[in-house]
Amino acid sequence: MNKVMTWAEIEAAFDGEWVLIEDPEIVDSSEIQGGKVIFHSKSRADVHDKMMTLSRLNHAVLFIGQPAEKTVFAL
């Protein structure tokens, strides 16, 4: 996958998945509007492993959807 998508398209296509976005389009210093989706998976570990193989540093990793109950996220 190497497709530039809007945030609405990403949300619709990858509900319940982790998404790796290259060159995210960011507004207001933190809000992602879209970008090039280069990998997605239900497994966070798979997305992390893919990110570690890339040489570019301008990426965002996001979970799309509602996290499972009692899920803890660390930033």
- Class of residue 51 by CB neighbours under 10 A (exposed 0-12, middle 13-18, buried 19+): middle
Instruction: Tell me if residue 7 falls in helix, strand or coil.
Output: helix
Query: What does residue 37 show for φ and ψ, rounded to 5 degrees?
Result: -80, 115
User: pTM value?
Assistant: 0.82
pLDDT at 75 over 70: no
Comparing 56 with 11, the larger pLDDT belongs to 11
Domain ranges of the chain: 3-64
Q: What is the pLDDT of residues 17-68, one digit of tens each?
A: 999 999 999 888 778 999 999 999 999 999 999 999 988 778 899 989 887 7
Dihedral sign for Cα atoms in the order 12, 40, 62, 55 = negative
